[in-house]
Amino acid sequence: MRHKDLLAVSDLDSSELRHLLASAAALKRAQAARQPHALLPGRILALLFQKPSLRTRVSFEAGMLQLGGAALYLSPQEVGLGERESVADVARVISRYVDAVVARTFLHDDVVAFAEAASVPVVNGLSDLLHPCQCLADLLTIQERLGGLDGVTLAYVGDGNNVANSLVEAAPRVGMHLRVATPRGYEPDAGIWAEAARLAAANRTELVQLTDPRAAVDGADAIYTDTWYSMGQEAERELRQDVFPPYQVNARLLAAARPGALVLHCLPAHRGQEITDDVLDGPQSRVLDQAENRLHAQKALLCALLGADVGVAALAAEREA
């Protein structure tokens, strides 16, 4: 990889992103074949979290163990990032102990500052602006279910949040068409959109902002939604519950997509709000595949950042098959 860190999908060019997805698929095959792939023996990963997590913590911890390394979880109370100690001081100290860090922060500026001060690779495990690790899992899920990413039309419906921003960065890099439907005032980040739009024009991919969810999902190959309010936005809960109901992903909206279209959600879900039970638990839902693929995509990412050759595991899995 060109960069020491992964703070955004935009840190990857198209070839790097596709290579990561291929590596993730290879590691998934190796695990399915019960083929050992301890590619990071003796390496230590620190998980520095300001926000609680199920998928991010478990997938990184389990992934590092499967790769032959170890993971250390550091809670907000233990570190006090930016409060008990400055972000830079924490980054410099942790760099002396571990081989890589996953930082899950409220402010994107904090993870950027942490990476600038750290001497080891830093992964953005989620910030208020971006969620690149989730996006890698999303792309892997779409790719394995639809046979590829080029020409796929993805409709994102709901809040233009960190997940949406990362999908906006990713789509033109993998040849995917993306339609984003949000209420006015809840669009993806304008700067991220402008940069992605330039790349989409160069790559001849569709990148469209809409306010009509029906128009966004019309004929789409996959529909993605997320919670209407994220951690740290609880004060906006009542306001958002008045604004977002037309953007609920339900059976009627799903019927406007192509037959068999994938249903995606990064979880946790507020059932009955952004998505109905029958859709979330229905035959077109791939949300559990997404959750599992966090593990495989992040293992590939750790290998890339720490210089491990995933090809070794891939060849072994192919021989086993």
Residue 155 within a domain = yes
Other CB atoms within 10 Å distance of the CB of residue 285: 18
Q: Which of 226, 290, 296, 303 is catalytic?
A: 226
Asked if residue 162 and residue 108 are part of one domain, the reply reads: no
Asked if residue 166 and residue 61 are part of one domain, the reply reads: no
Domain holding 247, by residue range, is: 133-289
Asked if residue 137 and residue 104 are part of one domain, the reply reads: no
Q: Which of 31, 35, 66, 134 is catalytic?
A: 134
Task: Indicate if 99 belongs to the active site.
Answer: no
Asked if residue 80 and residue 188 are part of one domain, the reply reads: no
Task: Indicate if 128 belongs to the active site.
Answer: no
pLDDT at 321 over 60: no
Domain count, the chain: 2
Asked if residue 140 and residue 116 are part of one domain, the reply reads: no
Task: Label residue 318 by pLDDT band (50, 70, 90).
Answer: low
Task: Indicate if 145 belongs to the active site.
Answer: no
Task: Indicate if 294 belongs to the active site.
Answer: yes
Residue in 47, 69, 70 with CA at minimum distance from that of residue 57: 47
Task: State the CATH number of the domain containing residue 184.
Answer: 3.40.50.1370
As a whole number of angstroms, the distance between CA 199 and CA 205 comes to 8
Residue 319 within a domain = no
Higher pLDDT, 12 or 230: 12
Would you report the helix, strand and coil content of the chain in percent, each value rounded to 5?
50, 15, 35
Average pLDDT over residues 40-49: 98
**189-208 pLDDT, tens digit each:** 999 999 999 999 999 999 99
Task: Label residue 236 by pLDDT band (50, 70, 90).
Answer: confident
**Buried b or exposed e, range 86-110, using 16+ CB within 10 angstroms:** ebeebbeebbeebbbbbbbbbbbeb
Residue 120 within a domain = yes
**240-271 pLDDT, tens digit each:** 999 999 999 999 999 999 999 999 999 999 99
Asked if residue 42 and residue 145 are part of one domain, the reply reads: no
